């Protein structure tokens, strides 16, 4: 395992340092070759790191800044006024070579825009995409993109997403000739937007790709495809629907619920009954916990940038940090670039 440094936007996300700092400490404890640069307000960060063991504290540096990009800021305004913000400084640390990757739970549009400006897309890439792993009911994983970076996509952009997704799956999931599908409202050739139908034709004509056709939303977790491609609008809704359903069901079966004593007793009895009826299946359901898949990567850039969910908890943000470190060590950007080059 090689040494590396990641830059973290400590002020990003819904809670900021109260999530980022404990997650950072956990990541450092689990990875002795990792160092972190934290960009944020020292007044909020310092109390959270005062009593760390020297072995952890020595691999954690805080770069003070008070300016942030808010989640509700308009993209153009956020970009124009980004100088000195925690997000921009974290990305600039990657550009300067101080860090090899960046993690932020902040404004997705701003992170995408600043990354494109400061880190540049790979040669030949029209638009970088947000990609993430999603679990399957059999315990495997699939790659899904785009998840919100590009709301509208033409056929050529979807085709490039499929290319990048295939290369990403080959290197992160150790797959050969991964199966690629376009997310659509039906499996028939006449279904869906024209851009999706035209993208299907481009994929069918490329003999280097294992395109298997359209995939409907009810099969996202069935492992029918290794790479699932859509525009960012559809992909974001599909992913958040999956996450919400999984969290609600896991909470119903295993979590606590507020309410009166009688209501609580009934819910407890119901949970125990469901667990009894689905003994083996419950273990599989636990594998679909969204916290274990937090972190969408901006692929198609010259460096690793991971976007954590703004609402991520400590465990989930820790996973995003570990994901960024793994991608740096696997040299994913250069592997994507090499895979895009004609033979």
Residues 6+ apart with CB under 8 A from 282: 253, 274, 275
The CA-atom distances, in angstroms, between 265 and each of 86, 130, 310 are 47, 43, 33
> What contacts 244, CB < 8 A, 6 or more positions away?
none
Burial 1-18 (b: 16+ CB within 10 A, else e): eeebbbbbbbbbbeebbe
Please tell me the distance from the alpha carbon of residue 75 to that of residue 287, in angstroms, as a whole number: 35
pTM: 0.84
Pick the closest to residue 165 from 210, 227, 223 (CA basis): 227
How far, in Å, CA of 151 to CA of 234, rounded?
8
Domains of the chain, first to last: 1-125+300-343 (3.40.718.10), 130-293 (3.40.718.10)
Per-residue pLDDT of the chain (343 residues; tens, 9 = 90+): 789 999 999 999 888 999 999 999 999 999 999 999 999 999 999 999 999 999 999 999 999 999 999 888 888 888 888 999 999 999 999 999 999 999 999 998 899 899 999 998 998 888 899 998 888 877 788 999 999 888 889 999 999 999 999 999 999 899 999 999 999 999 898 998 999 999 999 999 999 999 999 999 999 888 999 999 999 999 999 988 887 777 776 666 555 444 455 545 445 555 555 555 555 555 555 555 555 556 789 999 999 999 998 888 999 999 999 999 999 999 999 999 988 876 5
Cβ neighbours around 24 below 10 Å, total: 29
CA 103/CA 164 separation, integer angstroms = 20
Bridge partners, 296 (sequence order)? 307
């Amino acid at each position: 395992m090689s040494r590396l440094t990641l830059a973290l936007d400590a002020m990003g996300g819904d809670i900021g340092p109260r999530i980022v700092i404990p997650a950072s400490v956990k990541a450092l404890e689990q990875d002795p070759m990792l160092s972190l640069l934290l960009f944020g307000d020292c007044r909020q960060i310092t109390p959270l790191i005062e009593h760390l063991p020297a072995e952890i504290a020595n691999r954690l540096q805080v770069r003070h800044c008070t300016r942030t990009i808010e989640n509700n800021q308009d993209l153009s305004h956020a970009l124009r006024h980004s100088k000195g913000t925690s997000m921009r400084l974290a990305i600039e640390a990657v550009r300067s070579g101080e860090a090899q990757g960046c993690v932020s739970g902040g404004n997705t549009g701003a992170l995408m825009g600043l990354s494109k400006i400061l880190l540049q897309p790979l040669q030949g890439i029209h638009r970088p995409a947000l990609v993430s792993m999603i679990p399957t009911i059999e315990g495997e994983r699939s790659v899904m993109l785009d998840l919100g970076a590009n709301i509208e996509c033409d056929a050529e952009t979807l085709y490039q997403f499929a290319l990048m997704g295939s290369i990403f799956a080959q290197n992160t999931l150790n797959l050969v000739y991964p199966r690629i599908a376009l997310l659509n409202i039906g499996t028939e050739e006449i279904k869906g937007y024209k851009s999706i139908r035209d993208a299907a034709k481009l994929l069918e004509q490329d003999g280097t790709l294992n395109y298997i056709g359209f995939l409907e939303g009810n099969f996202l977790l069935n492992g029918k495809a290794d790479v699932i491609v859509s525009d960012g609008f559809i992909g974001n809704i599909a992913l958040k629907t999956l996450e919400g359903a999984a969290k609600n069901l896991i909470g119903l079966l295993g979590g606590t619920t507020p309410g009166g004593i009688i209501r609580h007793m009934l819910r407890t009895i119901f949970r125990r009954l469901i667990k009894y009826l689905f003994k083996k299946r419950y273990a599989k359901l636990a594998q679909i916990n969204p916290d274990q898949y937090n972190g969408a990567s901006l692929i198609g850039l010259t460096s690793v940038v991971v976007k954590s969910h703004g609402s991520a908890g400590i465990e989930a943000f820790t996973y995003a940090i570990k994901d960024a470190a793994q991608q740096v060590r696997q040299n994913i950007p250069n592997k994507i670039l090499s895979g895009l080059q004609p033979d």
